[in-house]
Amino acid sequence: LLDGAGVPAPTIFARMSELATRTGAINLGQGFPDTDGPSAVLEAAVAAIRGGANQYPPGRGIAPLRRAVAEHQRHWYGLDPDPDTEVLVTAGATEALTASIIALTEPGDEVVVLEPIYDSYSAAIEMAGAVRRTVKLEWPEYRLTAEALARAVTDRTRLILLNTPHNPTGRVLDRSELDLVAGAARDHDLIVLADEVYEHLAFAPHQHVPIATLPGMADRTVTISSAGKTFSVTGWKIGWLHARPELVDAITAVKQFLTYVNGSPFQPAVAAGLALPDEQFRAFGEDLRGRSTMLTDGLAAAGFDVRPSDGTYFVIADATPLGYRDGAALCDDLPRLAGVVGVPVQAFAEDPSQPSPLVRFACCKRPDVIAEAAERLAGMRR
């Protein structure tokens, strides 16, 4: 968690956003939208502040939001968490993940994660004194295989940390891959932490399937999501989880001393968001799919090898055809070369010092911004 000099190292996302700010480059690095979410959701937060929702909310989150989460899970997926005992509101998905890992592991227990690995997973595992075991997804298919999963699961495994739709690969895991994870969880008596923050950002025909809906999985899954991506309000940091009561109790015990509570006026606003009509949720995904395609086409036209994403804010591009082998060095140079910022995929690796020519670009930006970035990247080889 600290660099060689004992200083907290900024995350790759913070470092790349700082690079964009310093150089004036277009920031396709850190995944945050450049337009805010639905006005009904924004206005509900303003109304909540004016209405006095400005003091500590209840420890598990306000009842209307817990009910909205439960209803959302029932409506979209046929899951049926009890809002009083099986739902917890958290400070973003990040806190849901960290509190769960601390609550559900003992020092030395092993946690299986998919590589490429989202940064907070490794930090949380380390803070819990647990041990990370990675299951590598290989470019460009990025599929989960039975062999790779079997190699990672041991007698010490306690949790499998699953993320689908997956950051940074843009993969939406299919039913056969989820069956592998569910099978391993049942066979080895494991709990699955399912990070589903991009649940509404899977592009048809790809469909997000919560692993909690698979046979025998509702009782051994902690399902985690967040308002940030779905409603384009990443700064609000309202997340939630649901699981069986004993697990939620254990996680709540940790959560109450991490943040205690958070985001009073944002909680009713997110409850309002979760009750938006289905068409609005579909429109978020459709709109993002258009931008993802635009970015994919732009990167291909600029000479990258690109894997079209199945969902998420992200697209991965291989810079090899442009003559670059080291994506980290390329990302440091990209503001000068093209006036654009991306994130090196090697930052998500088990060993981030290994050079890789892959770069992650974010598509959650206005179409004119994506078009300008693509134009600039195309200029690199002129």
CB of 39 to ligand GLN, least distance (A): 24
**Site map (CB under 6 A) of ligand GLN, residues 47-66, x = contact:** --------------------
Q: Pick from 20, 26, 27, 30: which binds ligand GLN (CB under 6 A)? A: 30
Closest to ligand GLN by CB, 167 or 292: 167
Query: How many Å apart are CA 292 and CA 313, to the nearest integer?
Result: 8
93 interface partner picked from ligand GLN, ligand PMP, none, CB below 5 to 8 A per type = ligand PMP
- At 193, list the tokens: 């932490």
Closest to ligand GLN by CB, 11 or 264: 11
Check binding of 311 to ligand GLN (CB under 6 A): no
Closest to ligand GLN by CB, 31 or 239: 31
Closest to ligand PMP by CB, 31 or 170: 31
Closest to ligand GLN by CB, 83 or 239: 239
CB of 92 to ligand PMP, least distance (A): 2
Q: Pick from 11, 145, 252, 280: which binds ligand GLN (CB under 6 A)? A: 11
- At 233, list the tokens: 């309000």
Which SS3 state, helix, strand or coil, does residue 245 take?
Answer: helix
CA 110 to chain centre: 21
Buried b (16+ CB within 10 A) or exposed e, 220-238: bbbbbbbbbbbbbbbebbb
30 interface partner picked from ligand PMP, ligand GLN, none, CB below 5 to 8 A per type = ligand GLN
Taking CA atoms, 364 is separated from 135, 311, 313, in Å, by 28, 11, 5
Asked whether 98 and 127 are in contact (CB, 8 A), the reply is yes
Query: How many Å apart are CA 189 and CA 152, to the nearest integer?
Result: 15
Q: Pick from 164, 167, 226, 309: which binds ligand GLN (CB under 6 A)? A: 167
Residue with tokens 């006026």: 265
Query: How many Å apart are CA 320 and CA 358, to the nearest integer?
Result: 8
Which residue ranges make up the site for ligand GLN (CB under 6 A)?
Answer: 11, 13, 30-31, 167
